[in-house]
Structures are given as C-alpha cells and as structure tokens.
Amino acid sequence: MARSSGTLASNQNAHGFRDLVWQAFHQPGSPAFAFTSRMTFLMISLSIGALIAESMQPDAATQLTINVVEATLVVVFSAEYLLHLWVAENRLKYATSFWGIVDLLAILPALLAFLPNAGFRVVRTLRVLRVLRMLKLMKLAADQARASANLASRGKPSLFNDALIYFMALFTVLTISATLAYYAEVDETAEATATTFNSIPQAMWWSIVTITTTGYGDMVPSTLLGRLIAVGTMFSGLALFGILTSVIGRAVLTTLFGREPEPAVAEADESDSTSEGAFSRVSAPPVPLRDLAIAVAAVISVIMLVIETVPEIYESAPSFFYYGEFVFVGIFTVEYLYNIAVAPSKREYLLSFGGLVDLLSILPSYMGLVDVTGLRAFRALRVLRVLRVLKLIKIALAHRASRVETGVKKNSFVVDLQIYAIAVTCAVTISGTLGYYSEKDVPGSAFTSIPAGMWWGVVTMTTTGYGDMVAKAPIIGDDGSPVLGDDGEPTMSADVQPVTVGGRITAGLTMFAGLALFGVLSAVIGSALMNSLFGGDAERSPA
C-alpha cells in the first residue's frame, strides 16, 4: 500500500512538472513563460558574444573561456530541445516544424563538430552555423507579434511591441549577415591586411552600411559567397525598411482612428450561411501543368544565357549552349502558335502583355539568324532573349487572377510576396544582362560576365552603390604607348562604370525599377499589417 501511494505521488509530481514545462514553452503571460523568454534571450546573447570574441583572435585563456561557454550553451539548448519533444502532443510534427528545426539547428552544428572524422574545414563550417541560433530570437518576436495583434484588436497602441519586433528582426539580420560575410571573406592563410573583413564587429559595420543602403564602398565583398550574402542583406534591408514604415503608419492610424468597428451583419438565412461557408473554403486552383513546364523551360533557358557568358563554362561545352538554344526556341515557338490558335480573339492576344512576352521569347533568336548584308544589326537583338524571364511574371499574374476569380482570399500575402520575388528576379536578370552587353567592350571592364552584371544590378537596384565596378586600363599617351608611372609600371585609369550611353540608360532604368519594386514591397507588407489591424475586405457570396 505504501509503495502504491509513493508511485501515485511520483506520477503526480511528474505530471505537475510536465505541466510546468508546457507552460514555460506555450503559455504566454505565465511566470514560467516569462522566465523562459528571458533565459532564451540571455543564452542567445552569450552565444553571439562568444562567436564575436572568437573572431577577434583571442588569447589562450579567452579561448578556453569561450569553449566553456559554448559547451554550457550546447547543454542548455539540448535540454530545451528534449523538453520540447517531451511535452509536444505530436513529437514528429514538432520535430519537422519550422521552430523545431530552428531549435535543432541551435545544437546540431556543435554536436556534428565532435564527429571523429570531421576535418578542420568541416568543423569550421559547422561552427559558423552557430549563428543560426539567432533564429531563436525570431520565436520571441513571434510571441511579441501575438501580443501586438491582441492590443491592436482592442484598439490600443502597440507601437512598443511592434518596435521591439522590428529591432529583433534587425538584430537577427545584422548578426547573421555579418557573421556569414566574415567567414566568407576572411582567409586565414593570408595576411590580416588581405581583407577588410577582419572580424565580426568589422563585418557588422559593413552589414549596417548595406542594410541601410548607404554604400560607403569602404568594404565590398569579393568572393562569390560573400556577394550572395550581400544580395540577401540588401533585400533584407529593404524588407526591414518596409516593416518599419508600416509599423509607424500602423501606430499613427491606431492612435488617430483606433480600430474600426465591426460592421453589423444582418442575420442571414440558412442557405446564405451555407453558401458563404462554401465560399470561404474554396481552395486555390492549381497552376496548370503546361504553365509549369513553360516556366521551367524559361528559367533553364535564361540560366543558360547567363552562364554562357562565363568563359570557363562556355568553353567547356559550346555545342551544349548552341543546340540547347534551338530546343528552347522550338518549345516557345510551339507555345506561341498554340496560344494564337486557341485564343478567342487573336488580335487581343497578340497585343496583350502575355502575347508580347511570348513573341519576345522567340523573336530575338530568329533575328539573330539573319545574316544578310545591312541587317547584321539585328543579331544584336539576341541579347533580348533574356526577356524570356518575363514569362514567370506572366504565369504568376495569371495564377493570381484565377485565385481572385474563384474567390480565394487565403494566403494572398504569400502569393503577392511570390510575385514580388519573381519581379525582382526578372529585373535583376534583365538589368544585369543589358548592363553586361553595354559595358563588356570597355577596356578593362568590370562587367566580365552576366553574373557580374547581375551583382551590379542588385547593388544599383537596392540603392547600395558600392562603386566597386571600376574599369581599369592603361592610360595611352599621344604617341600611342602606355603612360608609365614613377615605378615604371603603366598608369591605370579607374573609371566607375557604367560609362557607355547604353550602360547609363540601363543604370537609370534599373534605379527607377528599384524604387518601383520597393514601393511594391512596402505595399505588400503594409497591406498585410493593415489587414491584421482592421481586418480584410473579404467578399461575401451573393445570396
């Protein structure tokens, strides 16, 4: 009997502890949840502090302290992950969820680094991924977002919560981009002066300059990975600015007008409620398989156009690019003729946006085949093959229109964000291609390929303006020979590109495209926040 009583008490204690752990993770407003949030923030701060200190060439004693802190953090985050699994109703669902993966990434890099066959570079790469612990900060931001939505729904100012969310997102982007850029640019085998990314704090300065699109040009990534990180940082900066303006606008509107009262809805009969319920459950129509195939073909053909300007790639398989172009021209020609045949109004299709995009997908290639004296200029039109990327926008807009026609309102923010991403991809690809073909013949041009042109396009479009695209060529004297300097070496000119008329026209259009796309991004984010504040204008089904 005594044993049974002891077992019952033990089970009750275990159940009570499990409830306490569940509250600590899933019950905002409880003391346990507040304590867990504060401890999580402290652990993240310690982790980032250790990562930063490690990048500053610490002495042996400091490195030992960093190792102890890191080991402690791994134990704490591992315990947190296991406790999450323990209290989860569906452990598999938690483990495969976004936040479950974030919690796993907080410990996995450190655990994998202890594998017996892990080499130095593998360990170094895995240690870099510790910065992904910053994503745990976004979990705290999500909790603040719920609190902010609760305040907004009651017409109360939520500026403090919204500003806190913004600064959490800003600090996350700043830390992750700076850390990844530092490890992408630093070369431990070179001298310290070989790169300006000498430490994570130094890289944070670059990240701030890039996020705010100031672009002093004192620190510019030179590696491919560093430039990819810079691209992500630039667009993250634009998104963060859009969030900031929306947050301020939301706070002002809430302060001035409060929450709009819910409109009174007359009681509907049973048939109306049934039809409305059916309307709200309408699923999004799938993208037609033919459109998906055309989109894939357009992406592949544009990728081929981009990489064929890289000499190392093109020279390895020139026939692949030559015959591949014929294949894609055939596909797009068949599609164009099919669309004309099935169009209810052929004239309307030919003059529509979609019809012009389909025509421009094949016309440059056919013009490039013209080899008649006096018409060779038409061959330059082959550069316009890049306009095939516009097929993605055409398909995305058609899919969005079909959602509207079928009454689908759910996840419109995600769809609009996808269209924005496609538009950005199209703009960067087109500007990079036109910039390359306009500037590639300039002596010493920095536009060595379309990928290099796309880097310039991103820097220009986001108004970052590093000024790193510089044409360097020997200065030629009146006698036709290079001008020599005091050291006997040729004096080099340094002209910031673009310098040609075509290049500068492309640059101007790219700048205005960047402003337009930023306006689109602000509208998308602002619309999502306004819907969360005032509610959407969901259509009601007709009676």
**Per the structure block, which two tokens stand in for 438?**
């306009």
Question: Contacts by 335-339 with C-beta closer than 8 Å and gap 24+?
Answer: 335/294, 336/361, 336/362
- Residue 513 neighbours by CB under 8 Å, 6+ apart: 427, 431, 461
Greatest alpha-carbon span in the chain: 111
Q: What residues contact 35, with CB distance under 8 A and at least 6 apart? A: 24
pLDDT at 480: 66
Instruction: Please write the tens of the pLDDT for every residue from 256-270.
Output: 555 443 444 444 444
**Average pLDDT of 323-350?**
90
Q: How far apart are CA 514 and CA 311, in angstroms?
A: 29
Q: What is the pLDDT of residues 157-206, one digit of tens each?
A: 666 777 788 888 888 888 999 988 988 888 543 444 467 788 888 888 89
d(CA 253, CA 378): 55
Q: How far apart are CA 175 and CA 163, in angstroms?
A: 18
What is the model's pTM? 0.66
What are the chain's domains? 7-153 (1.20.120.350), 154-259 (1.10.287.70), 285-409 (1.20.120.350), 438-537 (1.10.287.70)
pLDDT given at position 395:
80
User: For residues 83 and 211, what is the distance between their CA atoms, to the nearest angstrom?
Assistant: 37
Contact status, residue 107 vs residue 80, Cβ threshold 8 Å:
no
Encode pLDDT of 45-70 as tens digits: 898 888 888 888 888 888 889 889 88
Q: Which stretches within 27-158 are classed as H helix? A: 31-54, 60-87, 91-96, 98-105, 108-112, 120-128, 135-153
The amino acid at residue 175 is T
- The whole-number pLDDT of residue 278 equals 40
Q: Where is 470: in which H helix or E strand?
A: strand 470-474
Residue 382 pLDDT? 66
Q: What φ, ψ does residue 474 adopt, rounded to 5°?
A: -60, 140
Query: d(Cα 368, Cα 306) in Å, to the nearest integer?
Result: 17
Q: What is the DSSP letter of 476?
A: B
368-425 pLDDT, tens per residue? 666 544 444 544 566 778 888 888 888 877 776 666 665 555 556 777 778 888 888 8
Given this model, what pLDDT does residue 451 score? 92
- Residue 353: pLDDT band (50, 70, 90) is confident
What does the alpha-carbon distance between residue 146 and residue 153 come to, in Å, rounded to a whole number?
11
The DSSP code for 494 is E
- Packed helices 135-153 and 98-105: angle between N→C axes, nearest 10 degrees: 140
> Which positions ≥6 away from 445 have C-beta within 8 Å?
439, 471, 497
Question: DSSP per residue over 203-268, as a string?
Answer: HHHHHHHHHTT---SSS---SHHHHHHHHHHHHHHHHHHHHHHHHHHHHHHHHHH-SPPPPP-PPP
- Count of residues for the chain? 543
Specify the pLDDT at position 258.
52
Sign of CA dihedral 50, 54, 59, 60: positive
Residues 21, 164: Cα–Cα separation, whole Å: 26
DSSP 415-433: HHHHHHHHHHHHHHHHHHH
The Cα–Cα gap between 174 and 421 comes to 21
Decide if pLDDT at 281 tops 60. no
